[in-house]
Homo-oligomer: A and B are copies of this chain.
Amino acid sequence: MKELFYQRDVISILDFNRESLEVLFEYADRMLKHIDTKLSLLNGKVVSLAFFEPSTRTRLSFEVAAKKLGADVISIVGEEASSVSKGESLADTIRMLDSYSNAIVIRHRYEGVAKYAAEIAEHPVINAGDGKQHHPTQTMIDLYTVKKLFNDIDGLVYGVLGDLRYGRATTSFLYGLSLFKPKKVYLISPESLRVREEVLHVLKERNIVFEERRNLEDVIEELDVLYVIRIQKERFPDPLEYEKVKGSYKVTLETLKKGKKNLKILHPLPKVDEIDERIDYTSYAAYFTQAKYGVPVRMALLALIFGVEP
């Protein structure tokens, strides 16, 4: 299953299957063991980080992952990245990075940019989030976290809460779950931020048992994993509408106490105010651990892409 990674582009989590993800998780376990060692597996390799949209967490964890493996890293970020693309075509910018480095990690606000970059570049391109649908490395981390917490990804009841319409982390996570056998998936969002049809289509096609809901309270008792992302107030057509429903989308300690003791909350971070701060200090909060796994999982992915073994 390593061949699904070797010198390959990473555009969507749907490019993978559960067997290949299990290889990845096994590599991540090994990385965790050497997490404070400087490895020399990627000595002489250069990894480019092209962040046309800002993302401190994803960028820094890729940077740490590449450096811990012995690679050098170059970056174009934010302002600079956008002024680059103003001057020259995106294709030429990608060609430049392709000629200076051995892999390109790219984030962009527009859907399809990673795939386009992959067509131009000779070296592997890793999608660090583009558009509202794909963020495969985030999903690898999310699933790895579930695996570490529950020893299994199958057979659990998942709630996915927030802006399911525009959130790329949740969409990608749902695609990722569809490679496994969850017992049930609850999709919890306001009407106007429901999951898009194309996503439901993928879930159906892969026989995922799911149900759409409007309210966390109604399903809290059943959940093993609650995946939360931000609901942006400004996406509600009517601000009054938001005021009416916001209680359903802000996770409180009171709501959690109605659920399972072992319930775990995931969040791709950054979070703003959708999770009651007191939860940070409880055993429900798995999101800081999840963030921490960003480094070993991305190390594992880079190792597999370059065909080196930890």
Contact = CB atoms under 8 A, between A and B. Distances in A.
State which size class the interface on A falls in: 35 or more
Nearest to A81: B56
How many chain copies does the complex carry? Answer: 3
Given A64-B101, A80-B56, A292-B99, A92 B271 contact: yes
Interface in A76-119: 76-80, 83-84, 87-89, 91-93, 95-97, 99-102
A56 B96 contact: yes
Contacts of A235: none
Given A74-B63, A80-B54, A80-B77, A36 B102 contact: yes
A67 interface: yes
A225 interface: no
Q: Chain A's interface: helix, strand, loop or mixed, by majority?
A: helix
Interface stretch (A42-50, A125-133, A163-171, A210-218): A42-50
A157 B46 CA distance: 37
**Most chain B C-beta atoms within 10 Å of own C-beta, residue among A77, A78, A80:** A80
**Ordered nearest first, which 10 A-B pairs have the shortest CB separation?**
A88-B270, A99-B292, A38-B44, A67-B72, A38-B43, A37-B44, A36-B44, A87-B270, A64-B100, A60-B74
